[in-house]
Structure 1
Amino acid sequence: MTETTDQQALIARLNSETAKISWLELQKHYASGNVLVVRPGADLIKVAIALHLDNTAEVQAWLADGLLAEVSDQQALVWYDKNKLLWALVIPPFVLVQETEITQQTK
């Protein structure tokens, strides 16, 4: 396989593993400190690939720019109160989340 084919396969796999999930279902992972938020302006799949490939320089740049961050207690509370629906993707040991425009109405 070529590098391009490998990357295309990785992108396809990560896209298929991405799903919407309510913040309430992510509480256990948040409590463990394993949830990272991908801010608007950053591509969830691109961030996942960088983590998967251990691209430290790119990940550190996103952290420095605020495009990737640990979920703050304040943000977690807002998402909890709104029962926020988020895009999620697991890149062990992390769960990457990114906001969607949809909010569920019931807890």
Structure 2
Amino acid sequence: MKDHPEALLHAKLNCETGRLHWRELERHFARGAVVKVAPGMDLVEVAVRFAQDDKPTIEAWLEAGRIDRAATEDAVVWQGRQSVFWAVVVAPWVLVQEIAPAQND
């Protein structure tokens, strides 16, 4: 893997993902650090692009609405249904992807 730093980074970030409940995410939302990742996107791949500061890719995803900073409206919905997320930290950001409510159990 030494020859493939991106693969090593991908593996590292994959190991750092975990489930996070809204109540644990709320404080990160309050400081404006939550980025929501659209369903169907590879959360770890998004994290790799953030870690590599791949601005063109990140900007394209922002423009396409595939990623976005979490808004107050999101927080209201997440609070109401006590959402659960897959999350990974790429400081200063917490990247999250909501787990479908039926899968939260």
Q: TM-score, normalised by structure 2?
A: 0.91
* Sequence identity (%): 36
Deviating beyond 6 angstroms after TM superposition, the runs of 4 or more aligned structure 1 residues are none
Match of 1:103 in 2: 104
Match of 1:29 in 2: 28
> Any stretches of 5+ residues in structure 2 without a counterpart?
none
How far apart in 2 are the matches of 1:77 and 1:103? 18
What value does the CA root-mean-square deviation take over the aligned residues? 1.1
Q: TM-score, normalised by structure 1?
A: 0.90
Give, as a single letter, the amino acid of the residue that structure 2 aligns with 1:59. Answer: I
Match of 2:42 in 1: 43
Question: 1:68 Cα deviation (Å)?
Answer: 0.5
**Structure 2 residue 2 is the aligned partner of structure 1 residue 16:** no
How far apart in 1 are the matches of 2:59 and 2:38? 14
> Any stretches of 5+ residues in structure 1 without a counterpart?
none
How far apart in 1 are the matches of 2:80 and 2:104? 10
Give, as a single letter, the amino acid of the residue that structure 1 aligns with 2:84. Answer: L
Match of 1:68 in 2: 67
How far apart in 1 are the matches of 2:45 and 2:14? 11
